[in-house]
């Protein structure tokens, strides 16, 4: 039977879907796109893989899903490279935050964050789940 988060915590989820071909056109069409969207480690992970663009699209979807779960967005002075998808040895993805995104998480009481990715030849989808401290007068928690 599902259990609700503790009363002092609040759950927020975010989901995003990215077309693989749309992502491919962007990164192949603009020289700087890869570096603006992905960290060096993410590019290393995707580079040379047979399904390179699917992996990139899944990572971009994860970044968007995380920002949606935060109730914010890239327009609010956050960079995509500040949400990094790293892979555990098991292959399970894990999110590492940096910069303005990490500061936002700290300021608003992020307690836990998990992400799940999937992709086909055409579409990548990511869902992020976040757990926040519930703070008086703060809508994001």
Partner 1 sequence: MAVSIAPNPANQEVQRMADVDSAVKEAVVEALALDDDEVTPDSTLMDDLGAESIDLLDILFRIEKSTGVKIEASDLGDYMQGGIPDDEFSDENEVITEKGAEHLNKVMPQTNPSDVAGSLKAEEVITLFTVQNLADMVKARADGAGA
Of 38, 45, 53, 60, the residue at the interface with partner 1 (CB under 8 A) is 60
CA geometry: angle at 87 spanning 78 and 71, to 5°?
30
| Catalytic residue status for 68 | yes
Asked whether position 72 contacts partner 1 by CB under 8 A, the answer is: yes
Cα dihedral angle (96, 93, 63, 71), rounded to 10 degrees?
Answer: -80
Q: How far apart, in whole angstroms, are the C-alpha atoms of residue 4 and residue 76?
A: 30
Which residue lies nearer to partner 1 by CB, 31 or 88? 31
CB 38 within 8 A of CB 81: yes
Footprint (CB under 8 A) of partner 1, residues 6-45: 18, 22-23, 25-26, 29-30, 32-33, 36-37
Please tell me the count of residues contacting partner 1 according to CB under 8 A. Answer: 28
- Which residues, other chains included, contact 128 with Cβ-Cβ below 8 Å and sequence gap of 6+? 13, 14, 15, 62, 65, 66, 68, 69, 95, 113, 114, 115
78-117 binders of partner 1 (CB under 8 A): 78-80, 100
Both tokens of 140, joined, read: 């994001």
55 is catalytic: no
* In the complex, least distance from residue 93 CB atom to partner 1, rounded to whole angstroms: 19
Q: Which residues bind partner 1 (CB under 8 A)?
A: 18, 22-23, 25-26, 29-30, 32-33, 36-37, 60, 64, 71-80, 100, 137-140
| Residues designated catalytic | 68, 119
């Amino acid at each position: 039977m599902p259990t609700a988060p503790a009363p002092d915590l609040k759950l927020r989820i975010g989901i995003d879907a990215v077309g693989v071909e749309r992502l491919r056109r962007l990164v192949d069409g603009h020289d700087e796109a890869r570096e603006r969207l992905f960290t060096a480690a993410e590019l290393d992970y995707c580079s040379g893989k047979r399904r390179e663009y699917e992996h990139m699209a899944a990572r971009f979807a994860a970044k968007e899903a995380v920002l949606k779960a935060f109730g914010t967005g890239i327009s609010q002075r956050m960079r995509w490279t500040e949400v990094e998808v790293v892979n555990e040895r098991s292959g399970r993805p894990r999110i590492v935050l940096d910069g303005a995104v990490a500061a936002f998480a700290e300021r608003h009481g992020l307690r836990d964050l998990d992400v799940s990715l999937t992709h086909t030849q055409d579409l990548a989808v990511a869902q992020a789940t976040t757990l926040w401290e519930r703070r008086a007068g703060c809508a994001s928690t």
